[in-house]
Chain A
Amino acid sequence: MALNSRYWNPLSELRPPAESARLQFRRIRAVLRYAYARSPMYRRLYDQAGVHPDRVRTLRDFIERVPTLDKKDLMEAQAQRPPYGTALAVPAERIAYRFQTSGTTGVPLLIPMIEESTVLYGEPWTYLFWSVGLRPGDTFYFPFNWGTFIGFWAAYWGVRRLGGTVVSGGGMDTRARVQMLLQVRPAAVVGTPTYLLHMAEVARELKVHLPQAGVRVLATAGEPGPSVPATRRAIEEAWGARVYELYGIGEVGSIAPGCPGQGGVHLCEDVAASLVVGPDGRPVPEGEVGEHLVTSFCQHAQPLIKYRSHDLVRWRRGRCPACGRTWTAFEGGVLGRTDHMIIIKGTNVYPTAVEAVLGEVRELSEHFEVHASHADGGDSLLVKVEAAPGVPSDRFGDVERAAEDLLRGRIGVRIGVEVVAPGALPRYELKAKRFFDHRPKERQWQVQMEGGR
């Protein structure tokens, strides 16, 4: 193995953009044929839309004629013929794993995986690990309970591909995991940004200096974080390690490893193809923010084509100045959710932007919640944020005003801030719930998009 190679697979990572676009379209056609031939749900969907895969001859055909798919479509397909439903494209005996993710109605969405899928699903993690200097023989610590959340299973498959050593922190509480870190001294730890920050808090309580564990790399997924400078700084300072993210969608795949330059993520073109569209469903120009529609090449059991991620991204093409990859870049990672974006006096506001600004206020911690509401004909935001440890409560009012001024200066609209005591907001092991929408449904971007089609 060429351990000195800068790239895990330069044939893919450095493929010239024009060649890459041709290859991606050939792969899209392959997955269209595959789904139409094997999945009753897709056959019905495309027959109803009057589009046969053989008639999708250009990318424009794909954009204009092939219908999108949403999570609720999969939920309905599964409900029609439990457990996997009419989307299933393989015989049940081919299924190697069954995961689930939260559904839209309280019923979980099942994610069946065949063996081939697990390899491709894990591969973007391997790309990430390799690009930040991790190599076969390095040790990876998983403070994760090996539950039904697929994200860190995929990271595990990625470590197996790389040839690293897996150490499980399953079935332990956070205190035991912190102690174990000091014994294991892993090269890398895999977790959500929220949980890595929580581990740092617990380490402080235990008087453990986390950098003593010698961790070099923190690999995260499940929520934004490392692409937000303030959050990245908080994690890196607490751990004494570099933090990188991977963008994945449970039912779709681990699709975009972070850039080693930490400015965003790159779409791994081996495993997915992307379209970035506006509220009217048409592609937005390079550099603009839109919703990410994704076509998975790694979901063989339950294919996903033009799948609405509801994630907002800003896309760029061309060679990345930081890492050299030619894969499509999503600058700043996932900027928010279509259902989390709110418009205040004509300005689009994303929770990640709020998080970035709050991170500049020294007296505030990284634990926050964003509450959106609607009154007097307009949307408004209130941020509840914990004070940093040691900040006296009689300072909270001054800190609130300072944070509000900073938010108004940076984002351009008024956003309310309420400072609460350290530890007042809930903690999460996996994804943190940061956004609380109290607005009427028709105010949400997601609904506007659906209305626009």
Chain B
Amino acid sequence: MAGADGRGTVKPEEVLRRLRRIRREARAILAGRPAPALARSMHTVERACHLAAWQIGDAMTLLPEGDGAQEPPRSTRRPLARRARVRRSAR
């Protein structure tokens, strides 16, 4: 149980580390092209993680997928690259 100041007993850095792990897992599930219902739930997980990071003061892109003006975070590169390969091989 957190104290009356509401800060909790887990440090923000640790929360951020865990959030990044959860986002990686959610993206890995999404990369496996799950059923629409499950994909929707994973998007929700990813967005919730991004929001939590923003509230802590960490996220510096407005959207979980980045702002389009800079390189996406390292953790997103692999699934995106994999998706591109799938698209190329389908042609």
Contact = CB atoms under 8 A, between A and B. Distances in A.
Nearest to B70: A33
A270 B54 contact: yes
Interface string B54-73: 11110011111001111000
B12 interface: yes
Interface string A1-21: 010111111111011000000
B61 A7 contact: no
Q: Label chain B's interface by main secondary structure.
A: loop
Contacts of B50: 116
B68 A5 contact: no
Contact of B57 (A2, A15, A300): A15
Interface string A369-407: 000000000000000000000000000000000000000
A5 B57 contact: no
Contacts of A9: 6, 55
Contact of A34 (B6, B55, B61): B61
Interface residues of A, number: 30
B55 A38 contact: no
A227 B8 CA distance: 33
Given A5-B4, A15-B57, A53 B69 contact: yes
A125 to B, nearest CB: 15
Given A10-B7, A31-B62, A37-B67, 18 more contacts: A5-B4, A9-B55, A11-B55, A12-B55, A14-B5, A26-B60, A30-B60, A30-B67, A34-B63, A34-B67, A36-B69, A116-B63, A119-B47, A119-B51, A120-B51, A270-B54, A297-B62, A300-B62
Interface of B: 1-8, 12, 47, 50-51, 54-57, 60-64, 67-70
Interface of A: 2, 4-12, 14-15, 23, 26-27, 30-31, 33-34, 36-38, 53, 115-116, 119-120, 270, 297, 300
